[in-house]
Amino acid sequence: MRFTKLVAAAVLGVGLCFSQAMAKEMNVGFVYVSPIGDAGWSYAHDMGRQALEKMDGVTTSYVEAVAEGPDSERVMLNMARKGYDVIFATSFGYMDPMLKVAKQFPETIFMHCSGFKTADNMGNYFGRMYQARYLSGMVAGAMTKSNTIGYVAAFPIPEVIRGINAFTLGAQAMNPDVTVRVVWTKTWYDPATEKEAAKSLLDVGADVIAQHQDSPGPQEAAQEKGVYSIGYNSDMSQFAPDAHLTAPIWNWGPFYIETIKQVQAGTWKAGSSWPGLADGIVDLSPMSDMVPKEVQDKVMAKKAAIIAGEKVFVGPIKDQKGMEKVAAGSSMSDGDMLGMTWFVQGVIGTTE
């Protein structure tokens, strides 16, 4: 009898704690792969976090420069143990560690950026960056004189490959003779390596440098050589004022606020969301004055069209060998885009 009473008291106590926790501040943790001072990927996410911090009843914190793999698992475990209610992890390699942690903490909500696995308490999200990449490709294609654009890219994974393909299609829309040369750095954040990679592209005649990297290293290389550049993640014009034409950028704030509102209202459900230009999660930073007015107009017209529902990967699209991958008149499905492992015609480089 006494035992049952004890158990009942304990259950009641735990219940009370929970109801109190509901009324309490909501703790939201972020795991970043690079330092937030990178002006890039993690910086953009951290801007979103800061927007969240301004919400009532929300406290945020983060751990930066967390290596993918076992280190990230430990960081997320510790957040969950410390009672964080929602955890956002913003790099692909955090997916499996997050899944492991999510199974151990069914009460905590987990959100993974850029992956594909989900659980009852783990959703994933990403933005259709390829839409903004297409627009930035249009700018690059219009501005190149050597018809060679250099693209410093991190890892040959679908996200990056999709971006390169969209960028190339955009460039070809303005200039059919353009080729895009890709160099892999195998790192997300390494300013020196990225800058060197950009220089190697300049040496083979590229006169516009684009990047899928988290540091402004490639921008600096372009600035020093006196050629144009396309940034990424955030407006990088301060690092290369004479080179920077525009940048496809992230704007995570509205998405994070919306997610937390859903959690607060109890309507959050694990799923996959992939918003795009129309939702404002990705955008094109203001174009430099160096971009002629008529080019700017064309880009803005295309942007409006994409927001209105136009697709980017519309056939006919051929791969590097000339094989038709998307037939004329049809467009790629989300599934095909998420698993893209081949380059479109006009890209010079391999996906290995």
Does residue 68 touch other proteins according to CB under 8 A? yes
Size of residue set near other proteins by CB under 8 A? 36
Does residue 69 touch other proteins according to CB under 8 A? yes
Q: Which of 158, 254, 275, 280 binds other proteins (CB under 8 A)?
A: 158
Q: Which of 28, 39, 52, 79 binds other proteins (CB under 8 A)?
A: 79
Quote the least distance from Cβ 244 to other proteins, whole Å: 27
Q: Per CB under 8 A, which region of 127-135, 156-164, 214-222, 286-294 contacts other proteins?
A: 156-164
Binding track over 100-139 against other proteins, x by CB under 8 A: ----------------x-----------------------
Quote the least distance from Cβ 148 to other proteins, whole Å: 26
DSSP letter, residue 185? -
Does residue 209 touch other proteins according to CB under 8 A? no
Spatial CA neighbour of 73 closest among 89, 57, 56, 62: 89
SS3 226: coil
Angle at 202 between CA 200 and CA 207, to 5 degrees: 155
Q: Per CB under 8 A, which region of 91-99, 145-153, 238-246, 297-305 contacts other proteins?
A: 91-99
Q: Per CB under 8 A, which region of 224-232, 267-275, 284-292, 333-341 contacts other proteins?
A: 333-341
Binding track over 45-64 against other proteins, x by CB under 8 A: ----------------xxxx
Phi-psi region of 86 (alpha: psi -120 to 50; beta: other; left: phi over 0): beta
Binding track over 288-327 against other proteins, x by CB under 8 A: ----------------------------------------
SS3 27: strand
Instruction: Please list, residue by residue across 301-311, b when 16 or more beta carbons sit within 10 angstroms of its beta carbon and e when fewer do.
Output: ebbeebeeeee
Does residue 274 touch other proteins according to CB under 8 A? no
Does residue 74 touch other proteins according to CB under 8 A? yes
Q: State how far the Cα of 316 lies from the Cα of 101, in Å rounded to an integer.
A: 43
308-317's contacts with Cβ under 8 Å and 24+ in sequence apart are 309/278, 312/130, 312/131, 312/134, 312/166, 312/169, 313/130, 313/165, 313/166, 313/169, 313/337, 317/169, 317/344, 317/345
Cis peptide upstream of residue 316 (ω within 30 degrees of 0): yes
Q: State how far the Cα of 23 lies from the Cα of 332, in Å rounded to an integer.
A: 45
Q: Which of 156, 254, 280, 315 binds other proteins (CB under 8 A)?
A: 156
H or E segment to which residue 180 belongs: strand 179-184
Does residue 272 touch other proteins according to CB under 8 A? no
Token digits of residue 41: 């990927």
Does residue 226 touch other proteins according to CB under 8 A? no
Q: State how far the Cα of 335 lies from the Cα of 183, in Å rounded to an integer.
A: 26
Q: Per CB under 8 A, which region of 143-151, 155-163, 208-216, 237-245 contacts other proteins?
A: 155-163
Q: Which of 6, 8, 16, 67 binds other proteins (CB under 8 A)?
A: 67
Strands lying side by side in the sheet with 148-153: 244-246, 228-230, 208-212, 148-153, 179-184, 347-348
Can you give the binding site for other proteins, defined by CB under 8 A? Answer: 29, 35, 37, 61-71, 74-75, 77-79, 81-82, 92-93, 96, 116, 155-158, 161, 186, 338-341, 352
